[in-house]
Amino acid sequence: MAEFDLSKMPYSLEAEQSVLGSILIDPECLNEVAILLEPADFYVSQNVAIYSTMLSMFSSGESIDVVTLLDRMKAEGEFDEAQTKSYIVEMAEFVPTTANVKKYADIVKEKSLLRSMINVSREISDACFEEAGAASDILDMAEQKVYDIAHGRSRQGFTPVIEAVTNAYDRLSAMASGDKEKYAGIPTHFVDLDRRLGGLSKSDLILIAARPGMGKTAFALNIAENVAILERKKVAIFSLEMSKEQLVMRILSSQSRVDSRRLLAGEVQDSEWPRIAEAAGVISGCPIKIDDTSGVKISDMKAKLRRERDVDLVIIDYLQLMESGGRFDSRVNEVSQITRGLKIMARELDIPVICLSQLSRGPEQRTDHRPMLADLRESGSIEQDADIVLFLYRPGYYDEAAEEGNQSEVIIAKNRHGPTGSIEVLWMGEYTKFMNLEQNR
């Protein structure tokens, strides 16, 4: 087991006392300090107790000075007659000037980050010495812990509206001057869908939901193909149901226009081999990566995506097969936790995340079979967390004699950025491919 000299942990007693003393002299300092520091950022246990009490008083609107602080600490059982009173009085007298309170707080935060890294290093080292799991699992754990420290090191405050307006104006100017691609969403190349959504925007969680057999995996793979092949964007696919070989066979069928069932059965005609070879060459050169680990958790995904770097789009197939890694009293609460985690992941990595989801049997129980938001299985917060919810609906699935034939709908049930409604696409089932209607004309 790794040994660390905990007596040499980095901290600055002077900085901690100066922060607390500044608040005692001028309680308004807490407005600035509270954004930067949490109680755990202090190292000396007495300072942790004092700052926690100050935050509690601040939250309840109580005035803070030496007398009120001592009284509150007595009430909370944090008071030591022999030490606390003299310590707090001396601390208020110790402060050189309250004008430098942010600098004092920055020093406290810096030391706290160093201690966090030491503690994480110890956990990682212990896990390695104890061989507590596979090396790859320990590596994922290490990456997650270090990332959590980095992500939590700053607590952003308000942004002046003039700054936000300036940024928005600069963005509009850049888009108008021909730099639109840098800011616009990633095109799916389903033309009508892109008009409604403006492409796939960074940090968005996009849910594609349908009943089994409607083609949600095919639709997601078609988007992946378009994004990777036509836009040369890097796509990461997490497949929890199908193997990577099965997914590739679907993509190969879609690209070559060779019947997927005959591909799987190995019944390829001589005339089709050139198309297959050409499609294989195109697919091999496109930036798609597939992970078919079953039961993958969000923490695993984030670790893998951070290692991969520069991923432009993430696709997850599918939600109901994901695990949270925690204990919940119901599957609804667990799925809610997963969707919140997916939205947070999309924001942290600043990329669009497409997640597929099954629907309940609700559509089968209605005469028109059209899906609606209430049909989301184990819905919980799915609708709330998703920025965009798309449903797939094929009338021909329920009625082979339907006049629409292969015509299908992508129903935009929720769109945080614009209009809802539906668009028409063409379903080519033999090739597991959705197409724009005009592509078949």
Which candidate in 32, 143, 241, 348 is catalytic? Answer: 241
Classify residue 344 as left (phi > 0), alpha (psi -120 to 50) or beta. Answer: alpha
Please state, in angstroms and rounded to a whole number, the distance separating the CA atoms of residues 167 and 176. Answer: 14
Q: Are 234 and 312 contacting, i.e. CB atoms less than 8 angstroms apart?
A: yes
**Mutual angle of helices 45-59 and 13-25, in 10-degree steps:** 30
Q: What is the rounded CA–CA span in Å between residue 347 and residue 339?
A: 13
323 has catalytic annotation: no
Q: Is 87 helix (H, G, I), strand (E, B) or coil?
A: helix
Instruction: Please state, in angstroms and as integers, the Cα–Cα distance from residue 146 to each residue in 101, 124, 128, 133, following that order.
Output: 28, 10, 16, 18
DSSP labels, 290-345:
EE--TT--HHHHHHHHHHH----EEEEE-GGG---SS--SSHHHHHHHHHHHHHHH
Query: Residue 226's closest CA among 263, 259, 204, 251?
Result: 251
CA distance 280 to 247: 13
Spatial strand order of the sheet with 313-317 comes to 288-291, 235-239, 313-317, 353-358, 205-210, 388-393, 407-415, 421-428, 433-436
Residues annotated as catalytic (active site), given as ranges: 241
